Amino acid sequence: MRILLVLLCLWLPALAPWASDAFPGGGGNAALLGASQPEFLAVEQAYPLTASVSEGQLHLRWDITPGYYLYKVRMSLAVAEAGTARPLAPTWPAGEAHEDEFLGATEIYRGQLDLAIALAAPVAHEIVLKSQGCADAGLCYPPRTQRLAVDPERGTVTELPPEAPAASTAQPAATPLAAPGGSLLTMVLLAVLGGMILNLMPCVFPVLSLKVLGIAQKGGDAHDRLEHGLAYTAGVILSFIGVAALLLSLRQAGEAIGWGFHLQSPVFVGALAYLFTAMGLGLSGVTNLGAGLMGAGNSLAARAGLAGSFFTGVLAAVVASPCSAPFMGTALGFAMTQPPVAALGIFAALGFGMALPFLLLALSPGLLRRLPRPGAWMEGFKQVLAFPLYAAAVWLLWVLGRQSGVDALAAVLGGAVLLAFALWSWESARGHTRALLWRVVAAGSLAAALSILSSPLLEARTRDQKADTGGWEPFSAARLVSLQQEGKPVFVNVTADWCITCLANERVALETDAVRAAFSARGVVLLKGDWTNAEPTLTDFLAQHGRNGVPLYLYYPPRMGALPIVLPQLLTPGTVLEALGR
């Protein structure tokens, strides 16, 4: 067991250079890494299409701009009939051989591409044309769908306006727009750095503080500290690998999900609120059960104490999921475009980075000596740490109310009271003459609290899509395309109520007087995508822009077909104003 823990914690540095050779990242747009973003043509300008119909045939011609190309494997034609699409099988000309970093050996089209498709009958058709292309300079456009109204009798072909994208039934099969550049090694290092920063987030810091308190209690036993540090690290890394494996499996099965997807479930949010409440009550001295849940090992046998540290790592990974640190979005978005081994490696690097500060503390006697000596102060500090956990529970209950309404919020609050009563009853049974009765009461209260989580009240409801008082319109792909066609500047904010980073960015940047005035002066249309509950179209939109979770901030300059400027995940007023001024 100890050897396994050591290997789990130390394998990552050895993996990075090997994985970099095995899965080179190459090319890509460096904008997400902070480098300057080159100018690219709008997709309509890069791949202009001319269509005509004559003698029962539809003629299509692409005049592909030099420096750009279309994937042959990404092109398809179908006839829309009664809500379904009947595939067409035209004779595709041979393409140019191309070695692609994502697709391997494939064929592409450059220059001019001509197709002639025989129409089955001289009646009006709606043709659905799908394509995808890239620029040699390193950007790949998201998959494009065009709808053509073909009338052979009149001899006309008209391009129809795009429909709002339906829920995807397959994993996005493309390099995302503005795909991050650099090698896999670069992404691994970004993930490690992002994981380290996660420890400063308010959803993680209370858990880490308790582990630091626990290591201070260990005193000078270096061997014991090392074992607990490795156990905690293994818990974090394996949890992140587990999340990555689940994400990849569900995406392979056709689910549109991303980072933090489990917080889109009101039941999970309610259960997490219960857990934080129980942990807080344990730290406040109501019961010892909470301390055991925190992984301090107080309720475990001495030789099983490593399990406490391991599951504290698991818990830290769970509560980190609503947070998004700098560099995380770039690394995770890149991970979801990679083969499974590379993707798992990036998620493991994120977990390693998150566990690294505590592991260094466990390994370094010099750092440990800077901690206060064990003493009575620890009990008071432990009780103080209960209040951030209570605050986290309140935040989770607020999220639940936004997801499922005030009735669900009241139900889970009642369940939290039952949970508190169950823990108090269990503790009261210690040394009591009627201990069995108290434990039965505690078990019944706990069962009642848990039964509330299965109530129909905790179902995610449809969110109110009306524009809010801050001037934000609800996001839709059709609305975005319409505004772009009008040449209007657009700012897109994809957010979620459970995303602490998103809420902080709105308070410190997007809702400030200076930024609001700049939006108004430039006539910027504000679109907000709400990812609090599962929303497949938003998940697809995130994937198209190289992201696997929120927040995502895009600014579309006031030019028809302009590509968006991708803003960083942590905003300042200056960052937003700089983007608006480009």
In a domain, 450, yes or no: no
Tell me the average pLDDT across 165-173.
35
State the average pLDDT for the chain.
74
Strands 473-474 and 525-530: parallel
Is the pLDDT assigned to residue 509 strictly greater than 80? Answer: yes
pLDDT tens track for 511-534: 999 999 999 999 999 999 988 887
% pLDDT > 70, the chain: 69
DSSP state for residue 229 in the 8-state scheme: H
Same domain, 228 and 264: yes
pLDDT tens track for 234-255: 888 988 888 778 767 765 654 5
Helical residues (DSSP H) of 429-512, grouped into ranges: 435-452, 477-485, 500-505
Same domain, 217 and 330: yes
In a domain, 354, yes or no: yes
* CATH at 557: 3.40.30.10
Tell me the average pLDDT across 555-565.
76
Same domain, 381 and 274: yes
Same domain, 314 and 247: yes
Six-digit token string for 57: 């045939």
Is the pLDDT assigned to residue 466 strictly greater than 70? Answer: no
- Helix (H), strand (E) at residue 280: helix 266-283
Domain count, the chain: 3
Q: Which of 358, 377, 404 is the last residue of a domain?
A: 404
pLDDT band, very low/low/confident/very high, at 483 (cuts 50, 70, 90): confident
- As a whole number of angstroms, the distance between CA 564 and CA 178 comes to 9
Six-digit token string for 549: 């979770």
In a domain, 83, yes or no: yes
Q: Are 29 and 178 in contact (CB under 8 A)?
A: yes
Is the pLDDT assigned to residue 535 strictly greater than 70? Answer: yes
- As a whole number of angstroms, the distance between CA 276 and CA 285 comes to 14
As a three-state string, the secondary structure of 488-508 is CCEEEEEECCCCHHHHHHHHH
Q: Which of 464, 471, 451, 456 is nearest to 497 (CA)?
A: 464
Same domain, 299 and 154: no
- As a whole number of angstroms, the distance between CA 52 and CA 151 comes to 10
Parent domain of 148: 43-160
User: Which pLDDT does position 68 carry in this prediction?
Assistant: 92
Tell me the average pLDDT across 176-203.
65
Cα–Cα distance list, 252 to 171, 377, 411, 540 (Å): 6, 51, 36, 14
In a domain, 141, yes or no: yes
Same domain, 200 and 285: yes
pLDDT band, very low/low/confident/very high, at 439 (cuts 50, 70, 90): confident
- Helix (H/G/I), strand (E/B), else coil: 59: strand
User: Which pLDDT does position 179 carry in this prediction?
Assistant: 35
Is 488 or 542 the better-scoring residue by pLDDT? 488
pLDDT band, very low/low/confident/very high, at 493 (cuts 50, 70, 90): very high
Same domain, 110 and 193: no
pLDDT tens track for 111-129: 999 998 887 666 777 888 9
Same domain, 395 and 485: no
Tell me the average pLDDT across 551-565.
80
User: Which pLDDT does position 512 carry in this prediction?
Assistant: 92
Tell me the average pLDDT across 66-95.
83
Lowest mean pLDDT among 47-51, 204-208, 406-410: 204-208
In a domain, 456, yes or no: no
Is the pLDDT assigned to residue 39 strictly greater than 50? Answer: yes
Same domain, 248 and 145: no
Q: Which of 365, 381, 404 is the last residue of a domain?
A: 404
In a domain, 457, yes or no: no
Lowest mean pLDDT among 230-234, 334-338, 459-463: 334-338
In a domain, 218, yes or no: yes
Same domain, 187 and 154: no
* CATH at 66: 2.60.40.1250
Paired residues of 556 in beta bridges: 490
User: Which pLDDT does position 218 carry in this prediction?
Assistant: 57
In a domain, 115, yes or no: yes
Strand order of the sheet with strand 490-495? 473-474, 525-530, 490-495, 552-556, 565-566
pLDDT tens track for 261-302: 667 778 888 888 888 888 788 778 787 654 344 443 333 333
Same domain, 121 and 191: no
* Neighbour count for residue 76 (Cβ, 10 Å): 16
- In our burial notation (b when 16+ CB lie closer than 10 A, e otherwise), range 97-126 reads ebebebbeebbbbbeebebebebeeeeebe
User: Which pLDDT does position 280 carry in this prediction?
Assistant: 81
Helical residues (DSSP H) of 84-183, grouped into ranges: none
Q: Which of 160, 191, 224 is the last residue of a domain?
A: 160
User: Which pLDDT does position 171 carry in this prediction?
Assistant: 31
Same domain, 120 and 223: no
Is the pLDDT assigned to residue 445 strictly greater than 60? Answer: yes
Q: What are phi and psi of 184, to 5 degrees?
A: -60, -35
Is 65 or 304 the better-scoring residue by pLDDT? 65
27-31, 73-77, 260-264: range with highest mean pLDDT: 73-77
Q: Which of 351, 326, 29 is nearest to 178 (CA)?
A: 29
Strands 96-100 and 84-88: unpaired
9: Cα within 13 Å, side-chain hemisphere: 28
- As a whole number of angstroms, the distance between CA 257 and CA 248 comes to 9
